[in-house]
Every structure is written in structure tokens, then in C-alpha cells.
Amino acid sequence: MSKTVRSNGLKRPWLLSASRDLCDRLEYHLSRILQSDLAAEGAATAYIVLLDETEYEVHPDIGGLSCPELGWMLWHCIPEYRRNGIGPTVLLAADRSDYRHVVLTCRAIHEMAHLLSSPSMLRNPDSPPETKVQTGISLSETLRLHPDKWPAYSGKPAWATHGLQFLRAILHLQERMYCRGWEIPLSYLGDWKGYGYRTPIATYLAALQDEIDSRRDEPIRQILSSRCPKDFLKMWATDLAAVAST
């Protein structure tokens, strides 16, 4: 039986308040870490909008969403006191568990890594808010459907949307957040086995560690435009070949 689509509104103020406080801190640290990446997009700040801060109907299996157009689509959901110009934006579901801190942090990093590994982190849509997003349909339609039903993703293997550059981006971002005091378990950053990764994610991190350490002050998108470390690329190619053969 499929789950019922829920309407968010502001029905859980205590949950929204706790999640919003956490997301405010995440916004601050992510914006500082990505300052050069944001400046290259003409932005000063990255934003996190909670689904409960919107009026969209949302499928309960959606934990987060990101696309370059969200900065414009969700501008009206960002209070004036937080506005510092249009910026890359991610949309997250508030978490009601005792592990809210870890879940929301990992979701924010995950979605920001998608933006970092996209051709652009910020793109002005032709007709917000109902223009098509990267899922192939409008934002309101996207949020009502299970992610498996999104036209642009349907029939594609999971690694197609969580590939080499996404993995490289998320590991750089995780390490930079860790240096700012955010302890983030690698296993919580994604469904790695579901994405087709056979090699443990910690092994990928070890293969990328020299690059992470030596290029810590460079914009992440600049790093992504350069050649991958050989061992890291070899692991990815081996995992991809194993998935393709099954």
C-alpha cells in the first residue's frame, strides 16, 4: 500500500523550531566553507529551507531535494531577516527522531554535494515556481511523488545521480565540516550500497585524503574540474563495472 501524501503547513511548531535552529547553524557553516564557490555563482549565502516552511504537499519518503532553480523558487519561503541575496538552496524534511542533528546535517551535506557537482549551483528559471526542475517535472509535482517516480530519474540506476563527482564533492565537504566541529558518520551521508558502491566509503575517503588535505583552501568546484586521483578513479571504475555486470 502506498503511503499517503501529507500536507506540511506549520503543524509541528516545536519540531520546526528545533530543526530551524539547527539549519540556521548549517547555513552559516556551509556558506563559510563554500564562500569562494558561492562567489563564483554571484551569491553570498547558501540557504536551507525546511519542507514545513512551505505550503507544498510532500510525499513522506522525500527527505531532501536540490536543484539550481530552488534559490528562486523558494525565495518567498526565506524570511527577510535571513535574506542576503539569492543563493543556492536545498530543501529538507524536518526530522522528528532523537538523531535529528545527524540526520539533518547529513541531508544538508548530501544535497549541497549535488549542487556542487551540478553544471551550475544556481540557475534562474524561466517561470518560477512551476518551471520544470531537474526531476523533469514541476516542483509541486516532484514533491507529491515518490523519488522513484520522478520522470528524469525513473529507470536510471542510482549511481547515475550519485556518481563520481558527487562522491568526490561530498567527501571534500564532509571533511571541511568535520574541521568545523561537525562529526558526521560517512555511512549516514548516503545509501552507498544502494547507489552501487561495493568499495567501503571509508576506503574511498582514504584514497582521496591527500587531495583533501593539500587542496583544503581551494573552491570545491575548482577541485572537481581537475583530474581525479588515480586510486580514487580506479575504485569507482571497478565498482561501476561490477554494478554494470549484474
DSSP string, 30-87: HHHHTHHHHHHTT-S--EEEEGGGS--EE-TT--EEE-TTHHHHTGGGS-GGG-SS--
Other beta carbons within 10 Å of 244 = 10
- Residue-wise pLDDT tens digits, 102-142: 899 999 999 999 999 999 999 887 655 556 788 778 888 88
The reported pTM is 0.90
In tens, the pLDDT along 174-229 reads 999 999 999 888 989 999 988 889 999 999 999 999 999 999 999 999 999 999 99
HSE-CB at 231 with a 13 A cutoff on CA atoms is 10
Predicted confidence (pLDDT) per residue in 131-168, tens digit: 678 877 888 888 898 888 888 787 777 778 899 999 99
∠ CA 63-241-209, rounded to 5°: 65
Identity of the residue numbered 104: L
Task: Give the pLDDT of residue 244.
Answer: 77
Q: Does the pLDDT at position 9 exceed 60?
A: no
Domain spans of the chain, in order of start? 1-154, 156-246
- Asked if residue 10 has pLDDT above 60, the reply is no
